[in-house]
Structure 1
Amino acid sequence: MDCVAGTDDEHQPDGLAGGVEPRIPGIAAAVVTVGHAASGRAGARPHQSPWAAMESYTSLIRRHTPLRALRLPMTTGDPAAVAARIGALAPRVAVAFVTGLNAEDSSRIKGEVAARGGPLVLTELDTATAALAATTISTLRRRGIAPRSGRVVVTRPEAAPLLGATLVRCGIGQVTNWRTGDAQAFPLRRLMEGHDALIDLAGAAADTDAPGRTVRPPADPHELGRLVLPGLIGALCGHDASGVSAEVLAAAARALALTTPPGQVLPGPDDGLVPRAIAREVGRVLAPPADRSRHP
C-alpha cells in the first residue's frame, strides 16, 4: 500500500454518488460518506448533514496530515455497492475512511474490500470506539480508579464489536457485556453496584443506574471522529498498516486519555497536540519489532 504525500488541495470535481471518481494524481485517502444511513440504518445526525460531516473530515485530513483526500458521497447504503466503489479506488487511494455505517455493514464492507485487494478501510465506528475507550479511562480516573482496577459494563456490545477488546488492550481490569435480554435477571442498577463505569451503547440506562459514571455515545458520531481521525489515518498510512485492530484503537485511546485536561473526559476539538499524540502512540504499535525496542 503506497501513501502519497501532498500539500495542496485538489480543485477538481469531487467523486459523485454512482459516478466515476476523478483522475487526480497523488490522492492517498478517501472520505466515503454513505448518506443512506442518515435515514435511519446507522443512526441519524441531528446536528449536521452527513455531507457536512464529510467536508469536515476531509478538511481535518488535509489540515493535519500530508495526505491528499478525495470526497466520495454515496446515496446507496448497499454494502456490496459501497465495497465495490471503495475497491475501485486502489491503488491510488491507500486508506478509505467510511462514515454512516452500522457495525454489521462496517464489518462486511471491510471484508469485501480486503478480498478485492482494495484500500485499507477505517470506519467512523472505529474512531468512535477509540474515543469511547478514552472517555471510559478518564471517567475511571476522575473517580480515583486506575484502569487496571476498573470494572466496566458495556450494553449492546454488538454495536461496537471492537470496543471490549480495545478496553482490555487499554488495561481495563474487567469488561462485562450486557444486553436488554439480561434486564430481568441482572437489572443494570443492581449490576452497577459491583462495577465502576457503564458504557451505554443501547441507550437502556436510567440516569439513576450509574450516576456520574455513565459513558454515552453522542447523537452525532462526528463529535468523536474528529478527535481521532487525523492522527489515526496518518499513522495507518505512514506505517503501511494492513488492518485496524483493537491494539491500534487502544493506542489511539491511550493518547486521547493522556492529552485530556484535568476535569474533562476528552480533549477539546481544536487541541493541536491530539493528532500528533495519536500518531505517535499508534505508530509505536505499528512499527516493526526492532523499531519498537528502540522506542519503548
Structure 2
Amino acid sequence: MSSSNEFHKIVDAVRRDVDRIAITAAIATLSAPCFRGAAEECASREYVRIVREKTPLRLLHLNVPGRTVPSVAAQLADLDPTVSAVLVTGSIVPEDTTALRAEVAALNGPTVLFELDLLTATLTAAAIGVLRSRDVPPRAGRIVIAGAERAPLLTPALTASRCATVVHWGVDDRSVESLQNLMRTNDVLIALDDRVPRDLAPAQTVRPPTDPTAQCSLVLPGLLSAMCGFGGATVTPQLLMASGVALTVLSGHDELLPDSDDPLLVAAVARFATRALFE
C-alpha cells in the first residue's frame, strides 16, 4: 500500500473520530408500533431541524425499536459516551417516562428528556403569563390544574417558581360544578383533562396544544444546549421552571409565549437553564 493511501486512511479515521466526539446530543424516536405514529415521526424530524438550525450541537437522530421500558433504556444507555442528553419522542405515558429516565440513569446512560418536559416548561410560562396579564401580584397567584397526573413535574415546577399556590381538580370530585366553584376564587386553570369544558373560564385557561411540537421547539434548543454544556445534568422541576421563566421574560405583557423567531430565545433559555443546573 502506498504512503499516500495510508495517509488518506489515517485522515479518514481522524475525521470519523472527530465526528463521533462532536456528537453531544441525540433525538430518539420510539419506533415500536406501541409507541410510534406518523405524528411522532414528523415531530422528531422537526426537532432535529430546529436544533441543527439554531445551535452548533452535533446531533444524532435515531430510531429505538424497543417495545418495553427496560429494552428502550438499554439501547439509550448504550449510546456513545459523548452523547450527554437525549430527547425521546413517541407516545409514552407519564408513568413510563419516570421509569425510563430512572432506568437509563441507573445504567449510567445520558440524561433523558421528554416532550412532556418541554411542554411542562411552556405550560409554566403560559400560566405565569396569564397571571401577569391579570395583574396578579407576585406570589399571590392561585392556579388550578385539572389532570395533574398527566404532567407529574408541572406542579413542582409551578411551586418552584413561587408565583402561585397550586391546587388539583379531579382527585375526589370530578364534577364540572366543583371546577366552576374553584375558578371563582382562583386565577388560572391549566386544563390537562379533556373533560374540562371549553367554555369554562376561557380567558383564564391554559391548554396544551393538540400538536405540541411548535411550543416544545421554543424550549428544546436552549435547554438541550445547557444540558450538553453541563454534563451529568438532571431533569428537575427547577430546571423546567427556569426554562419556562426564560420564555416569560421574552414575552410581552399580554403574550403567553414568545415568538419562535426571537433572536434571544435560545440564549435566554440556555442561560436560565444553566443557572438552574448549577444551583
- Greater helix fraction, Structure 1 or Structure 2: 2
- 1:68 pairs, out of 35, 58, 77, with 58
The answer on whether the counterparts of 2:84 and 2:227 sit within 8 Å (CA) in structure 1 is no
**What's the counterpart of residue 233 of structure 1?**
224
**What's the counterpart of residue 99 of structure 1?**
89
Deviation, 1:262, is: 3.5
The answer on whether the counterparts of 2:65 and 2:72 sit within 8 Å (CA) in structure 1 is no
Runs of at least 4 residues off by over 4 Å: none
**What's the counterpart of residue 34 of structure 1?**
30
In 2: Cα distance, 1:176 partner to 1:98 partner: 29
- 2:210 pairs, out of 205, 219, 224, with 219
Would you say how many aligned residue pairs link Structure 1 and Structure 2? 261
- 2:134 pairs, out of 120, 129, 143, with 143
The answer on whether the counterparts of 1:96 and 1:119 sit within 8 Å (CA) in structure 2 is yes
In 2: Cα distance, 1:210 partner to 1:277 partner: 32
In 2: Cα distance, 1:59 partner to 1:81 partner: 27
Greater shift, 187-196 or 206-215, is seen at 206-215
Deviation, 1:210, is: 1.7
- 1:83 pairs, out of 70, 73, 80, with 73
State the TM-score, normalizing by the size of structure 2: 0.86
The answer on whether the counterparts of 1:140 and 1:197 sit within 8 Å (CA) in structure 2 is yes
Q: Is residue 59 of structure 1 aligned with residue 59 of structure 2?
A: no
In 1: Cα distance, 2:158 partner to 2:209 partner: 19
Structure of higher CA gyration radius: 2
In 1: Cα distance, 2:210 partner to 2:66 partner: 22
In 1: Cα distance, 2:148 partner to 2:86 partner: 25
In 2: Cα distance, 1:261 partner to 1:114 partner: 38
Q: Secondary structure at the match of 2:184?
A: helix
Deviation, 1:92, is: 2.3
* 2:197 partner amino acid: A
CA 1:140–1:72 in structure 2 vs 1: closer, same or farther (change >3 Å)? same
CA 1:147–1:186 in structure 2 vs 1: closer, same or farther (change >3 Å)? farther
Deviation, 1:190, is: 1.1
Q: Is residue 199 of structure 1 aligned with residue 190 of structure 2?
A: yes
The answer on whether the counterparts of 1:241 and 1:286 sit within 8 Å (CA) in structure 2 is no
Unaligned runs of 5+ in 2: 1-15
The answer on whether the counterparts of 2:73 and 2:104 sit within 8 Å (CA) in structure 1 is yes
In 2: Cα distance, 1:61 partner to 1:208 partner: 37
In 1: Cα distance, 2:64 partner to 2:20 partner: 19
Greater shift, 144-153 or 262-271, is seen at 262-271
Deviation, 1:286, is: 2.0
In 1: Cα distance, 2:185 partner to 2:228 partner: 42
The answer on whether the counterparts of 2:64 and 2:75 sit within 8 Å (CA) in structure 1 is no
Greater shift, 239-248 or 136-145, is seen at 239-248
The answer on whether the counterparts of 2:84 and 2:232 sit within 8 Å (CA) in structure 1 is no
Q: Tell me the percent identity.
A: 37
The answer on whether the counterparts of 2:132 and 2:253 sit within 8 Å (CA) in structure 1 is no
In 2: Cα distance, 1:127 partner to 1:115 partner: 23
In 1: Cα distance, 2:40 partner to 2:233 partner: 27
Q: Secondary structure at the match of 1:187?
A: helix
* 2:161 partner amino acid: C
Deviation, 1:204, is: 2.0
